[in-house]
Structure 1
Amino acid sequence: MTTALTGPYLRSWAVRALAGLRRHRDEINRLNVFPIPDSDTGTNMTATMECAVARLEDATGSAGDADAAETAAALAAGAVTGARGNSGMVLSQILRAVADTAAMSATGDLSARAVPVMLSRAGKLVTDALSHPVEGTILTVLRQAGDGAQAVVDADPEASLGTVVTAARDAAVTALEQTTGQLDVLGEAGVVDAGGRGLVVILQALVDALETGTETGTETGTETGTETGAAGGTGSFRGSVGTGPADPSHGAGSEPHLELVFTFRGDAAALRTALGELGDSVVVVGDGADAHRAHVHTRHPGQLIERIFALGSVTGLRVEALPEQPAARGVRPVSPVIALLPAGAATGGLADLFRGAGAEVCDTSESLAEALGALPGPGIVLTNGQDTAEVFAGLDRVGREFGREVTVVDTGSFVGGLAALAVHSPGADPDDDAEDMADAVHGQRWTDVTVPPAGQQTGQDPVVDVVDVVEAVAAAVNALLADGGELVTVLCRAECGPGIGDAVAGAVREAHPDAEVHVVTVPGLPVDAQVGVE
């Protein structure tokens, strides 16, 4: 493994980060509920990284022989110029921090000890760029990534570059998990911060680049993280959460709510003041020279545009309409997708898991009929292996009483239901949405895992040996992957014992390092484990 981040390694990192953002774009978009749920964080981060990589290609060609300072400068310039949205602005400052740190290097490359300096610099630039920095966002994840890297360097000044970068990635993952509890709007929606998720993808790309070298033709490596749903677990982030309530500071009203993004040359302090007086979500980032890229949400576009043109030179102005916000906070939008669960499971681990994935839940034909009748339009029912006779009885009642159109997707299992929800697109045509879900389920193979109990405690669930469960799950994964697949989803019954999720995740990843692995511990799961492979 290399001892320094050279130009070729930075190029590899950037290309891998772009590929990762493209792969996770829809997932990140679905997590986007702050500052407003406009579902564009993944799109904006991807577009910004595309501009960064394009500028790098223009500046240095495809040979990749530029040093880190030259490579990082090109990436930063492209990102600042092409930054899209709030999250793109933040990403541009992270790349600018890489460039600033590389420019200070005597060799033009970045050592292991430069990594925490780079991340600390990024945190400062991002904080300075934001009008109102908020904890529980990408800013928090970025700062803790830097702290994680610094802790390794402090403990061992000779720590390898790979060790320091991996520590930064791991600290970012931990910080991301905690964002749900740090920001009310994230907690209400049951999601992690979208921008922070994008940062984890980018740091994972750096880990992969260091582990596999400077070749960028293929992607390798597996994501590390946790599920985005409400249930706890270990594994990759699987973005499948619908929109949630937004920060009421954006308000609702009759005036159009617009996003303005533009390049500005002039007095940046005066610009920031004007944007703050007539808008919010203000971000102003510099390119290190004389230009700034600005972002703002406003309900006074005419007045604001007049002011910014009076303050200096404005180019590349882009205006987009933003979605209106609900007047009440804390009201979760009703999902048209309803997941069937076993009787008595409408509360607890399974219910939390499926609600976090963007579905309503029902455990009886009566509750199903009521839920479908309350929908404003067509509904989609995921069977999840439950009794379909009761399903159709409920559908008959809905048809008679409400005239509601309902599509049933026979998911066959809980992991099948999660696979369907992973491709669910809120607002899409219901027939197309259901077809996409059915295709996702069709592409998955699954099995239940049940281990004979090792004993019985009076009045409690049967006691199983964690080692037996881990071995049984590993065997099931091996059998399913024998016919191909790259995505493994494992649900583990939490009652199997403490640490069951970590133990299963470790065993599966060790046996299949190229697979993307999701493991979730679920209280009350009716089997010891359920495994799905796609």
Structure 2
Amino acid sequence: GAATGPSSAGAELTRVADLPDPSGGTDPSGGTVLSGRADLDGAGLDTTGALAEAARVAADAARAALARATGRPPELVRAGVVDAGGLGLVVVLDALVAAAGGDPGPPPSSQVGTPGPASAVTADGELVPWVPQPVYEVTYWLPGPDPAALETLRARLAGLGDSVGLAGDGGGGVMVHVHTTEAGPAVEAGLAVGRPSGIRIEALPPAPPTRDRAVLLMIESSGAGALARAAGGNVLVADPDPTVDEVLAAIRATGAEHVVVLPCATHRRTVTETAAERVRFEGIDVVVIPASSVLQGLAALAVHDPARRAPDDVVAMAEAAAATRTGGLAVAEAEALTWAGPCRPGEILGISDGEVVLIAPDLAVGALWLAHRMLTPGGELVTVLLGSAAPDELGERFAEDLRRTHPEVDVVVHRGEQGDYPLVLGVE
């Protein structure tokens, strides 16, 4: 609570929930002074009464929250200590009780639980074995940054780690805070916005894995990304192509001990394997399946089964990706000589395995011709991703024509919203 008038026994109190959010609307770590707001708000501070009495209620609530193991960051549980900010809050509230003529509680202890160098905390506050990984707490101050640039900074830091906080200091400056395994890029992100000062980097063990397995796909388009998320996959937006640091952060962000990564493009395989090799030293088992297209990635994700043995699951996903033939339609921008003959601007190019295999007068004809060609070796399922500029009618007409000419084949059409190809086709 906070006094709304001069300090006296009869001063009215303001509910904690009515005060400005000290976290700046960000997502602070659990078990810290910022996340302790909810505990104080539910402690009966929405009443009017003597300042000493209300302050004692707040101090007792803060002291009880401080002593709980549940919700505390694993690095604090492992060290057997409480959060320093939370401890400071109890001290301040006890001082307020004493200043108002009340009787403060016993001095709060900085120790709680049993220290364990190889332990972590579960959702129930229990200690379990855990292998530490290198994580850093990075903080710095930015003088007078542009508000628009701050949103870019927030997004960049969110891609590098968690516990991201950008809090104004009341004088136009902003304090920046993040927990990340990539301290250098976190500082570089601040350099892109302004001139960071007071830079502090402190090593902290990160949170332990929260699940056994995860599948991470690199996808450019929003529609295909939504399909992957709906199927239970994690998505790293690959527009533009991600750096090694961004792939590392995405792998760690899955919170899994075993991660299958699908680059969904041939040219992203090197950066993916580099990141996978680096993160293996942190105890995360990473397997890269060389999916060369989004549809190969989605096909692999479709057969993912967490209940299956991890090696068997990887084999099944790799086989599904390899069994998916992909192609696409592009619009010719200039006259050129292709493997299928000369093309003129505006004509439709059918592309398969990186080569132009046909030239068509329009998208509808090109889609059907390309499907016929790709189905020559056989196929059971045709999946279509419509680009951002392609109308829904294109997919509807294609599905109708293909079902008539190939009744033995199932056809599925989705909005992929990719910007480079009006239509992408996959045959399984």
Please, what TM-score do these two structures have when normalized by structure 1? 0.33
Look at both structures and tell me which one has the larger radius of gyration over its CA atoms: 2
| More strand per residue | 2
| More helix per residue | 1
| Structure with the larger RCO, 1 or 2 (CA within 8 Å, 6+ apart) | 1
Please, what TM-score do these two structures have when normalized by structure 2? 0.41
